[in-house]
């Protein structure tokens, strides 16, 4: 078999991994100094870094959510393979055989693009933490359930009941999703596999709505933390979280647009394909390919084109139409800063996603070194995401006149 000239096959020692990481980090630091010195958005990146240093909970939260998702994936894989846990097998250190540089880049561009778009929408790995959040929401933890109903009545008028019922159903699905995922092989002993796949698709669709809403709530919290820091104010995290819950209602129409777009381009085609899965399995494979190659990139690009809509709705008491008009003005007046921000943030996010594929992907999936390296890169992505979210808020506030007083 012909080997790629950039392939690192047969490299069995871990120092090779450290060498790749060290070279990449060195390149990132050199590139950072070069780009920041010439970047029109340089001062906003510096301000964002100061904000993250002042409020480390911003990246800690993102890291915890990411580690929870990684842990669930490992448990799910262990359950899928039906293996018995053996400490000696788990602690084994397999050979380091990463993919080629081009192969790693081919797998990294879409996660990097979605993470970049997530800075302006939702950058949180909310599953399976969303199941805990759903349980707390249903149980009215700290009165947040009642508070949500009160805010929905005030902001949504006659539509509040339909929205509330939808959120409640999605919360129930979010709570059931991890339980269903881990027990599906046991359930297959009593129910037809096709039936379980279809039921799982419906649960996943409903759950994904709550996962998005929960992740969005965390994102709004992070934006408000940065905003409070910019204003030189001091506030307890619990108080800011209550503010975030109230401000989420102001973004309801934009949230609806994003969810509807995701439904039409991703979830609905997948649901339809699962109805035919017993007759045409190739249809499901074709839909999955369409989602990965077309739908997900299109949604990410659309979110980048409307990058300031969400932060405008969070920090200003505006309707969606007014927010779109303000976004157009903001793009015309600050296009160079925005483009510079997207360029630098995009490069960093692509590099860390590429390193994840290249280095962590050099070990078998969910082996000990793979998990350790994946956890390391989750920390890196969490820090970068928090830094860039804070920097974006600084750029937005620094490029616009002072907003109206936010009414909480």
Per-residue pLDDT tens digits for 60-106: 999 999 999 999 988 887 777 655 556 666 677 778 787 877 888 88
The verdict on residue 390 lying in a domain is yes
Higher pLDDT, 22 or 251: 251
The verdict on residue 211 lying in a domain is yes
CA separation for the pair 256, 262 (Å, rounded): 10
State yes or no: pLDDT of 16 exceeds 60.
no
The verdict on residue 21 lying in a domain is yes
CA separation for the pair 135, 165 (Å, rounded): 15
Residue 171 domain boundaries: 121-250
19 and 76 in a single domain? The answer is: yes
Higher pLDDT, 288 or 38: 288
Higher pLDDT, 184 or 394: 394
226 and 135 in a single domain? The answer is: yes
Alpha-carbon dihedral sign for residues 239, 245, 251, 255:
positive
149 and 104 in a single domain? The answer is: no
What's the mean pLDDT when you consider all of the chain?
A: 83
82 and 171 in a single domain? The answer is: no
- Tell me what pLDDT residue 145 has: 85
Q: Which of 184-188, 236-240, 287-291, 300-304 has the highest mean pLDDT?
A: 300-304
94 and 53 in a single domain? The answer is: yes
- Which of these three, 197, 218, 250, is where a domain ends? 250
State yes or no: pLDDT of 6 exceeds 50.
no
In this prediction, residues 134-144 reach a mean pLDDT of: 89
Cα–Cα separations (whole angstroms), residue 211 to 125, 166, 282? 9, 13, 29
- Tell me what pLDDT residue 387 has: 94
- Tell me what pLDDT residue 164 has: 87
CA separation for the pair 275, 387 (Å, rounded): 43
The verdict on residue 257 lying in a domain is no
115 and 156 in a single domain? The answer is: no
133 and 59 in a single domain? The answer is: no
Cα–Cα separations (whole angstroms), residue 30 to 27, 187, 380? 5, 53, 17
The verdict on residue 66 lying in a domain is yes
Which range has the worst mean pLDDT, 35-39, 260-264, 269-273? 35-39
In this prediction, residues 303-312 reach a mean pLDDT of: 92
pLDDT band at 183 (very low <50, low <70, confident <90, very high): confident
138 and 215 in a single domain? The answer is: yes
Helix pair angle (129-138, 160-187), 10° resolution = 130
Higher pLDDT, 295 or 277: 295
What spatial distance separates the first Cα and last Cα of the chain, rounded to whole Å? 64
Domains held by the chain: number: 2
Cα–Cα separations (whole angstroms), residue 153 to 148, 246, 313, 323? 9, 12, 18, 22
The verdict on residue 129 lying in a domain is yes
The verdict on residue 324 lying in a domain is no
Tell me the pTM: 0.86
Other beta carbons less than 10 A from residue 192's beta carbon? 10
Residues with Cβ within 8 Å of residue 136, at least 6 apart in sequence? 144
State yes or no: pLDDT of 408 exceeds 60.
no
Higher pLDDT, 245 or 353: 353
Residue 58 has which token pair?
Answer: 């911003």
50 and 151 in a single domain? The answer is: no
125 and 217 in a single domain? The answer is: yes
In this prediction, residues 163-174 reach a mean pLDDT of: 91
- Which of these three, 250, 282, 309, is where a domain ends? 250
- Which of these three, 204, 233, 250, is where a domain ends? 250
The verdict on residue 69 lying in a domain is yes
85 and 142 in a single domain? The answer is: no
95 and 185 in a single domain? The answer is: no
In this prediction, residues 173-179 reach a mean pLDDT of: 93
């Amino acid at each position: 078999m012909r080997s790629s000239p950039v392939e690192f096959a047969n490299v069995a020692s871990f120092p090779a991994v450290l060498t790749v990481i060290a070279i990449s980090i060195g390149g990132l630091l050199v590139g950072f100094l070069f780009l920041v010195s010439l970047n029109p958005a340089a001062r906003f990146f510096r301000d964002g870094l100061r904000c993250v240093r002042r409020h480390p909970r911003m990246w800690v939260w993102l890291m915890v959510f990411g580690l929870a998702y990684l842990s669930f994936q490992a448990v799910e894989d262990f359950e899928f393979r039906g293996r018995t846990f053996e400490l000696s097998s788990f602690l084994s250190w397999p050979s380091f055989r990463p993919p080629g540089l081009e192969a790693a880049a081919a797998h990294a561009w879409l996660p990097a693009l979605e993470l970049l778009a997530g800075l302006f929408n939702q950058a949180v790995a909310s599953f399976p933490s969303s199941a805990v959040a759903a349980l707390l929401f249903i149980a009215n933890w700290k009165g947040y359930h009642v508070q949500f109903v009160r805010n929905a009545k005030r902001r949504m008028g006659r539509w509040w009941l339909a929205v509330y019922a939808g959120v409640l159903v999605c919360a129930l699905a979010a709570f059931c999703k991890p339980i269903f995922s881990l027990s599906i092989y046991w359930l297959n002993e009593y129910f037809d596999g096709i039936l379980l796949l279809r039921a799982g698709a419906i649960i996943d669709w409903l759950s994904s709505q709550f996962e998005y809403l929960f992740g969005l709530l965390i994102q709004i919290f992070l934006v408000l933390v940065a905003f409070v820091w910019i204003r030189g104010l001091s506030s307890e995290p619990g108080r800011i979280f209550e503010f975030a819950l109230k401000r989420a209602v102001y973004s309801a129409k934009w949230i609806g647009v994003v969810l509807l777009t995701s439904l039409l381009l991703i979830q609905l085609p997948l649901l339809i394909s699962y109805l035919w899965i017993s007759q045409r399995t190739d249809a499901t494979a074709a839909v999955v390919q369409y989602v990965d190659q077309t739908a997900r990139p299109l949604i990410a690009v659309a979110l980048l084109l409307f990058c300031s809509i969400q932060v405008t709705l969070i920090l200003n008491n505006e309707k969606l139409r007014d927010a779109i008009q303000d976004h157009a003005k903001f793009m015309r007046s600050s296009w160079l800063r925005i483009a510079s921000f997207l360029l630098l943030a995009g490069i960093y996010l692509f590099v860390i996603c590429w390193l994840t594929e290249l280095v962590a992907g050099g070990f078998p999936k969910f082996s000990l070194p793979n998990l350790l390296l994946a956890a390391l890169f989750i920390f890196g992505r969490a820090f970068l995401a928090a830094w860039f979210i804070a920097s974006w808020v600084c750029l937005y506030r620094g490029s616009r006149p002072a907003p109206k007083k936010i009414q909480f």
